[in-house]
Amino acid sequence: MGGARAVQHRDPGRLQIAPLSRMENHMPTTTHVTGSPGFSAEARRRRELPTAPVPEIAKGPQVPDTGYILDEIADGVFWLSDGQYQNMFVVHDEGVIAVDAPPTLGHDILRAIKRVTSRPITHVIYSHEHSDHVGAMSIYPGDVPRYGHSIVAQRLRSLGDPDRPVPTEVFDDTLTIEAGDHTVRLDYPGPNHSEGNSLIHLANQRVLMLVDVIFPGWVPFSNLALSANVPGYVALHDQVLAYDFDLLVGGHVTRPGTPEDVRVQLEYMTDLRATAEAALSSVDLREIMAPVDTGNAWAVFRAYLDAVAARTADELVPRWRDRLGGADVFTLPNAWAMAESLRLDLNSLGPFGTKA
């Protein structure tokens, strides 16, 4: 369209799931189904406690009366946020490339674009399929190409949601969009937060967009961002650091991120994994079974899993509540998800291991 072209190609290099991560060396890339401590007494007790003060690193710009922040974070690259959700759009010689459409921003995205340019929207990009990030994609013109991973297209086709039209231009590994004076590269790193979640890189502007993986200044959302593949989610931290970028659009919370934010979150993940692994082997099943009906198999199992998560959180929260926002809020469910990945993906089964 108007001289723009998209080129799909394979990149056998840095984006393959390979032993790049310090943790990935020990974490196979099997799919993992996450869970939660749910409504256990411990989870309820923690929710009733006052939350810790939000550290300065987690704070972003104040949302103005318009209801959204609009900031040109690089040449022609605009970041849009309502304080909870984020997306971006890119203005090129011939029009606008719009990436994602969180419903909480909705038509504010179009209003923000009109504040910047009268040029038409020429391309639409899906980071992944989840409705909290692409549930308003129907606001964009229906006659422009829509780009997304083949797994995203397959999933949206099966859902049949009119607010999330199926991508018309799909890729499996890497796709490059050349539009006017801008080049945008879409890379698929393998399953992570979702099965088709992809990175969006503007190398010339040194901007990277990756949704629901890095949460600048904050711990990951509950249950490690509800990730479909925890080993892939963990491995992606080091893969992100292999890119040349200055700013990262993460899709959530209060501000864009930096490479340092990625390094800090990787440190949190490393600490979380080591602490959860220790708890899996140190929690005494006999001790926690004392108040439990031993005839209730699920009650016994839940007591063990909750005890592992609680012990992990009790150790981690004091180390992290002053370093990352929400450490006291989501470390317990993050510990639960990490412990389950260690059990099911790494065969770290604690008292439920192979019987002698």
The per-residue pLDDT for range 207-253, each reduced to its tens digit, is 999 999 999 999 999 999 999 999 999 999 999 999 999 999 999 99
Angle at which helices 230-241 and 327-346 pack, to 10 degrees? 110
- Decide: pTM greater than 0.85: yes
* Position with higher pLDDT, 19 vs 60: 60
pLDDT of residue 18: 30
143-183 residue pLDDT tens: 999 999 999 999 999 999 999 999 999 999 999 999 988 99
Q: How far apart are CA 127 and CA 48, in angstroms?
A: 35
CA distances (Å), origin 118, targets 94, 157, 258: 10, 32, 30
Mode of pairing for the β-strands spanning 169-171 and 146-149: parallel
Which residues, 6 or more positions from 39, have their beta carbon under 8 angstroms from its beta carbon?
A: none
Q: How far apart are CA 18 and CA 326, in angstroms?
A: 31
Name the strand (E) or helix (H) holding 246.
Answer: none
CA distances (Å), origin 315, targets 100, 198, 256, 322, 328: 37, 33, 29, 14, 11
Instruction: Point out which residues pair with 187 in neighbouring strands.
Output: 174, 199
User: 113 with 121: CB under 8 angstroms?
Assistant: yes
Which residues, 6 or more positions from 170, have their beta carbon under 8 angstroms from its beta carbon?
A: 147, 148, 149, 150, 152, 153
pLDDT category at 7 given cuts 50, 70, 90 is low
User: 136 with 109: CB under 8 angstroms?
Assistant: yes
pLDDT of residue 27: 35
Ranges assigned E (strand) in the chain = 5-9, 69-74, 77-81, 86-91, 96-99, 121-125, 146-149, 169-171, 174-179, 182-187, 199-202, 207-209, 247-249
Domain regions of the chain by residue span = 5-16+61-267, 24-53+272-352
Q: How far apart are CA 298 and CA 204, in angstroms?
A: 54
User: Is a pLDDT exceeding 50 seen at residue 19?
Assistant: no
* Position with higher pLDDT, 284 vs 199: 199
pLDDT category at 8 given cuts 50, 70, 90 is low
Task: Sort 293 into a burial class: Cβ within 10 Å, 0-12 / 13-18 / 19+.
Answer: exposed
Average pLDDT over residues 305-322: 97
pLDDT of residue 32: 38
Which residues, 6 or more positions from 197, have their beta carbon under 8 angstroms from its beta carbon?
A: 127, 128, 149, 191, 210, 211, 212, 213
User: Is a pLDDT exceeding 60 seen at residue 15?
Assistant: no
SS3 313: helix
* Position with higher pLDDT, 324 vs 41: 324
User: Is a pLDDT exceeding 80 seen at residue 294?
Assistant: yes
User: Is a pLDDT exceeding 90 seen at residue 74?
Assistant: yes
Q: How far apart are CA 137 and CA 106, in angstroms?
A: 9
101-125 residue pLDDT tens: 999 999 999 999 999 999 999 999 9
| pLDDT-above-70 percentage for the chain | 87
pLDDT of residue 20: 28
Q: Indicate the Cα dihedral angle 302, 218, 221, 53, nearest 10°.
A: 60
SS3 content of the chain, % helix, strand, coil (to 5): 35, 20, 45
User: 152 with 128: CB under 8 angstroms?
Assistant: yes
**DSSP codes of every residue in 26-65:** G-----------TT-HHHHHHHTSPPPPPPGGG--PPP-T
Q: How far apart are CA 296 and CA 347, in angstroms?
A: 24
Mean model confidence pLDDT for the chain: 89
Mode of pairing for the β-strands spanning 77-81 and 86-91: antiparallel
pLDDT category at 6 given cuts 50, 70, 90 is low
Tell me the CATH number of domain 5-16+61-267, given options 3.60.15.10, 3.60.130.10, 3.20.20.80, 2.60.120.1030: 3.60.15.10
97-106 residue pLDDT tens: 999 999 999 9
pLDDT category at 35 given cuts 50, 70, 90 is very low
pLDDT of residue 352: 85
pLDDT of residue 39: 45
Question: Cα dihedral sign for 239, 192, 187, 138?
Answer: negative
**Residue type for 214, please?**
I
pLDDT of residue 239: 98
**Residue type for 6, please?**
A
pLDDT category at 356 given cuts 50, 70, 90 is confident
